[in-house]
Copies of this chain bind each other. A is one copy, B any other.
């Protein structure tokens, strides 16, 4: 299958759904609506929504009604990027090739745009007009999955440890904690969200969770590698920012070559974890490979 075409098609669907999920930029108060849209429509690859869709497809589910749910994953992802970029946090000026949200709208509006996106994810996930085809019990399970991945036991915890590790000689378990929480948690939750939506059986759910975990790890190793080998044009942000900030990364423990090998091993395992799935899981298999072979 042509994974690039698949991604392009799904990304279009997600973008169209997102366009309907967030209020128009002309709404009062304009600044925060503009800021939310500025960061949300900055050319993200929509990896998390696409993973949710592919997971649901692997289980044979129709995914039209999943789009708002998948979109909420991108709202959460975008909120986390805006807050992570803040001067008090990673203090990044560039994201996806453009000035970061706080550079354009100021810190106050950036913090509030992040808060607005985070809240909006749950507004969407609890909106019966948007999700009337999804039973309430399943929505509650999805809200639990996403909020846990996004909160102190997930991304927030990961970002705290990431911040507190800057310039320190952290050990590998600490780096693993950062990876699995800051990036891994929402990627895993995205796959599991698709699985919950599609009423996965217990064995299927465990397999997809494992897949999500491994893909999250592969994603982060690749991010670490691209921070060294990429160009600013490729990755849309400052190159070498991890090293500049004294952040430990996968390559700082294992070197570039070994990191590449590991990333591919992890992807092989991710594909393996889907062995009981039929061809409907091919997009998931190809997505795992795409994630380590990507250049941005």
> CB within 8 Å of B: which residues of A?
23, 28-29, 31-33, 36, 83, 86, 88-89, 106-109, 111-112, 114-116, 118-120, 122-123, 125-128, 135-137, 139-141, 143-144, 147-148, 150-152, 156-157, 159-161, 163-164
Given contact pairs A33-B152, A108-B160, A115-B151, enumerate 20 new A-B contacts (beta carbons under 8 Å): A29-B157, A31-B160, A31-B164, A86-B111, A89-B108, A108-B163, A109-B163, A112-B160, A115-B118, A116-B152, A119-B148, A119-B151, A119-B152, A120-B147, A125-B143, A126-B141, A126-B147, A136-B139, A136-B140, A139-B140
Q: Which residue in B112, B136, B157 is a CB contact (below 8 Å) of A159?
A: B112
Give the complex CA separation of A161 and B31 in angstroms.
9
26 residue pairs A–B, Cβ–Cβ below 8 Å: A29-B157, A29-B161, A32-B156, A32-B160, A33-B152, A88-B106, A88-B107, A88-B108, A88-B111, A112-B156, A112-B163, A115-B115, A115-B151, A115-B156, A116-B152, A118-B119, A120-B151, A120-B152, A122-B143, A126-B143, A126-B144, A126-B147, A128-B140, A136-B137, A140-B140, A143-B143
Chain A binding surface SS class: helix
This chain: copies in complex: 2
Per the bound structure, the CA–CA distance linking A181 and B152 in Å amounts to 27
